[in-house]
Every structure is written in C-alpha cells, then in structure tokens.
A = this chain, B = another copy of it.
Amino acid sequence: MPVGKVVIIGSVAFDAIEGPGGSVKDTLGGSATYASYAASFFAPVGIVACVGEDFPQDAKDVIAERGADLSGLARLPGRTFRWAGKYAPGFRGRETLKLDLGVFASFTPVLSGALKAEDVLLLGNIDPDLQLKVLEQAGDRAFVAADTIDHWIRNKRESLMKGLARTDLFFLNDEEAELLTGESNLIAAGREIRKMGPRNVVIKKGEHGAMLFGEGEMAALPALPLEQVKDPTGAGDVFAGAMLGYIAGKGKGRSGALREGMARGIVMSSFVVEEFSVGRLRGLKPEEIDRRLSRLRELVRF
C-alpha cells in the first residue's frame, strides 16, 4: 500500500500559559507546531502556516528538527500569533486570557502543489472559511482530516458544515460534539455527526480516552493513566497529528489503520502533556512510544 506524507495547515504561535503545572511565557505552540511534531514520528510532514518577523530562528529550528518540510511556513510582516490562557484547578476547563492573531489574521494558506492520493491533509483548528479555501486547492484525492473548536461551531457553523461534506476524518471533543448536535449522549452525537458528512469521526474525551465512529466500525480506547500533567495545551493537536502520521505512514486504506492510528494519538498525547510546549516530544525515542503502546494494550486486555 503506497505511503504518503501529512500536510498540516494550522497555526504556529507563542503561548503564555498559567495553570496547576506552572506558568510559562513566550513558549512555542500552535496547532501546526504540535501536530507536525507528533506526526513526524510516523510519516514525512509538511507545514502550511505563517509566522511574523519576530519569530526567531531557534524556534524555527525546533519545528524543523524532525525533518518537517517548512517551505510552506511563510514569514510575514507583523507579529507572530500569540495566545494566553489559564487552566482551572485540576485542569477542569480553561479560559483564554488574550488572543492576538498577528500575521495570522490576514493569512491565506496556499498548498505548494497537488496532493497525491496517498497523502493526508490535516486542516488544523482554523477558521472554517480558511479550511474551505485549502480544500479547494487540495483536489479530491487526498485523505482529508479536520479539527475544530467550539468557537467555530458557534460562529461559523455554515462554513464548517460545508467542509464536513468533504472530510474523511473529523476530530472534536465531547463538549464540541454536544454543541454541534445538541445530543448529550456521545454515541448518538457521533452518529449524528457522521450524517453531516465525515466518513469517520473521532470524539476526544481527555482523561477518558477517545472514540472512533467509522464505516461499520466503532472503537473506544481509554487514555493512558497519568498522575502528573503539566500542561494539556496541544494535546488534541498531537492526538490528530500522531493519528494522521500513522495513517499516512502505513497506507490509509490499510485495515485497522484508523484504530491503530487512534492508539498512537492516545500515546503521543500522553507524552506531550508531561511538559510545556513540545518539550517532552523532543528527543522522544521510538522505544518509549512502543512501551506506552504496550501499556495501552495491557490496559484493555481481557
């Protein structure tokens, strides 16, 4: 089965984070940063994103250090996207303190070339109108995955729905699934969302793991037990990036690729929350990933 690359459209940002795990400022973040770093463990990766003139070389070096193709990372006049957020005790909910889109406000993502049938496109959680613009360029051959957040469900529902019709795999969390469907039962919500277009839906449930609603299949895996969480920022992006990296790297049509990919998503997100930014993923060894995969298998064995 031909293997492809993962092309990730998303943000590259600087985050300021306060929470039970401590506080950091000007730390490297953004959905494209997190997702590409995670995906790179499983497949070749390319990024389509933008940064401002204030973006330093050493931050770019971090994103590049696992071989991601950064030819689609535009450097634009202005400031890099900045986000400041605060987590509640026990990481129950978070609040956005400040959001400065900077160069991202006027960014139009451009794919450098046609995607091949074996490639995977991840539309990170950006404005659904931008997602649609990328979809127009993507052709109809690549496997398309999309992520979103509650903000777009509330404010750009129509554009979001248009994109869903062309989505092979849609990621959202449990609260977003309820917001999108009005269904408090996640099983009913998952089925409803599939009716909106996406062939496969993954509902992320944080510490409770994730569920996959596919064509004639359903999967549910628990999260890995973690006692020490430092920062959950980016966990969803890492989940998506790892899952898609696995799918691209193994051949998207391979039987079981989705559920195997979901397991990689769970494992990689269990690492990233242990440190701020992509700190825990830097220098992560394949054996460490394998060990957590074994732990996940052991957890659900009966």
Contact = CB atoms under 8 A, between A and B. Distances in A.
Contacts of A205: 208
Interface string A152-195: 00000000000000000000000000000000111110010000
A185 B232 CA distance: 14
A19 interface: no
B259 A302 contact: yes
A283 interface: no
A225 interface: yes
A301 B219 contact: yes
A209 to B, nearest CB: 7
B188 A209 contact: no
Contact of A218 (B89, B191, B217, B225): B225
A227 interface: yes
A218 B185 contact: no
A69 to B, nearest CB: 29
Contact of A227 (B185, B262, B296, B299): B185
Contact of A221 (B184, B222, B227): B222
A90 interface: yes
Contacts of A302: 219, 221, 256, 259-260, 262-263, 296-297
A184 B92 contact: yes
Contacts of A209: 208, 220, 222
A97 to B, nearest CB: 22
A1 interface: no
Given A205-B208, A208-B205, A208-B208, A300 B184 contact: no
B219 A187 contact: no
A187 B259 contact: no
Contacts of A220: 209, 222-223, 225, 299-300
Nearest to A90: B184
Interface in A256-302: 256, 259-260, 262-263, 296-302
A300 B219 contact: yes
A213 to B, nearest CB: 9
A43 to B, nearest CB: 18
A105 interface: no
Contact of A219 (B219, B226, B299): B299
A215 to B, nearest CB: 14
A259 B301 CA distance: 8
A20 B225 CA distance: 33
B227 A188 contact: yes
A218 B187 contact: no
B299 A187 contact: no
A260 to B, nearest CB: 5
Contacts of A219: 299-302
A187 B227 CA distance: 6
List the 6 closest A-B pairs by CB distance, nearest first.
A220-B222, A90-B184, A300-B300, A208-B208, A187-B225, A263-B302
